[in-house]
């Protein structure tokens, strides 16, 4: 596996691959790899001739300086894991390479950026995400890009951007990879110490409780959200939000019907966690 740090090198590599007729699969990440990232890389390898992952802790999408400072970074371990997962190139630019003096452009995906995570973190979070993903697509020139359902709102924002701007990239959304007890894998989980690791299960318990009442026939979204919230409270965690929304538009639902996203966020000790499930309800 090669590690490339400049846009010029990455452009040259992608141009060469495209001239050879190879399909490029791309997995954008912020590093601190776990099995969730690895599953995306492996799926990219199954579908595409070559795989690129990017490792870039994007400063513009952090709304708390402390979260950016505490974000785990271990490029040596990441590069070994990516190589083992069959990645051909890891693109790991500096912040200066991505945001040189005078950088002034922002992508805003209206309507999707100020709800759920955007309501808590501010619209600049998804503007940061959309802008950096747009730039990474231009640098890597992938045929297919792989994103985790773990970040459901990110998926909705990027899908909208790709469609609106006619970007020639196919989006592949990959299932959430969980620990054996149900906790969604996250780079931030390493910061869960002592009892916080047990309390973090509240998110999964809340989602499971919400799914249970839907499976039992409940269609009133507020009742479903209350069941999930109550399950989290009984686990000692108060959700920042427990939302029942349409999967694509992220609009709140009064009735549970169609492609339903149940999304939750909560602070557990020093860490802010998110999780979700998708239900297809007829």
**Binding of ligand AMP at residue 61 (CB under 6 A)?**
no
Q: Which is nearer to ligand AMP, 175 or 259 (CB)?
A: 175
Specify the residue for token string 């309800």.
281
Spatial separation of the C-alpha atoms in residues 168 and 143, rounded to whole Å: 7
**Binding of ligand AMP at residue 48 (CB under 6 A)?**
no
Minimal CB distance residue for ligand AMP = 148
Whether 125 sits among the annotated catalytic residues: the reply is no
**Binding of ligand AMP at residue 89 (CB under 6 A)?**
no
**Binding of ligand AMP at residue 150 (CB under 6 A)?**
yes
Q: Which is nearer to ligand AMP, 185 or 256 (CB)?
A: 185
**Binding of ligand AMP at residue 151 (CB under 6 A)?**
yes
Tell which positions 175-204 bind ligand AMP, by CB under 6 A: 176-177, 184-187
**Binding of ligand AMP at residue 206 (CB under 6 A)?**
no
3-state secondary structure of 256: coil
Among 62, 147, 204, 242, binds ligand AMP (CB under 6 A): 147
Q: How far is the CB of 22 from ligand AMP (least distance, A)?
A: 22
Q: What is the DSSP letter of 146?
A: E
- Give the up-direction half-sphere exposure of residue 106: CA atoms within 13 A in the CB hemisphere: 13
Q: Which is nearer to ligand AMP, 174 or 225 (CB)?
A: 174
Catalytic residue among 11, 34, 37, 235: 37
Specify the residue for token string 């503007």.
127
Q: What is the DSSP letter of 31?
A: S
Q: What is the dihedral of CA 178, 199, 157, 256, to 10 degrees?
A: 90
Spatial separation of the C-alpha atoms in residues 262 and 266, rounded to whole Å: 14
3-state secondary structure of 276: strand
- Give the up-direction half-sphere exposure of residue 63: CA atoms within 13 A in the CB hemisphere: 13
Binding site for ligand AMP (CB under 6 A): 29-30, 36-37, 39-40, 147-148, 150-151, 174, 176-177, 184-187
Give the residue numbers marked as catalytic: 37
């Amino acid at each position: 596996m090669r590690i490339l740090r400049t846009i010029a090198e990455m452009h040259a590599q992608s141009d060469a691959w495209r001239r050879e007729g190879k399909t490029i699969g791309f997995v954008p990440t912020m590093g601190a790899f776990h099995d969730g990232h690895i599953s995306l890389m492996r799926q990219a390898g199954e579908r595409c001739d070559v795989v690129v992952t990017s490792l870039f802790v994007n400063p513009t999408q952090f709304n708390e300086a402390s979260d950016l400072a505490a974000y785990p970074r271990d490029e040596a371990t990441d590069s070994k894991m990516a190589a083992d997962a069959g990645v051909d190139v890891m693109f790991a630019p500096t912040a200066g390479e991505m945001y040189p003096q005078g950088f002034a452009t922002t992508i805003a995906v209206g309507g999707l950026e100020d709800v759920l995570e955007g309501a808590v973190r501010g619209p600049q979070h998804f503007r940061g995400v959309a802008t950096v993903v747009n730039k990474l697509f231009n640098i890597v020139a992938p045929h297919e890009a792989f994103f985790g359902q773990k970040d459901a709102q990110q998926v909705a924002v990027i899908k909208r951007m790709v469609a609106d701007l006619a970007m020639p990239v196919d989006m592949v959304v990959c299932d959430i990879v969980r620990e054996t007890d149900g906790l969604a894998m996250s780079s931030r989980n390493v910061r869960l110490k002592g009892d916080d690791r047990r309390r973090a299960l509240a998110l999964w318990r809340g989602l499971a409780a919400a799914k249970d009442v839907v499976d039992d026939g409940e269609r009133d979204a507020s009742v479903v959200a209350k069941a999930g919230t109550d399950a989290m409270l009984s686990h000692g965690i108060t959700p920042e939000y427990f939302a029942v929304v349409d999967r694509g538009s992220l609009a709140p639902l009064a009735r549970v019907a169609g492609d339903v996203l149940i999304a939750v966020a909560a602070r557990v000790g020093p860490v802010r966690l998110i999780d979700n499930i998708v239900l297809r309800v007829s």
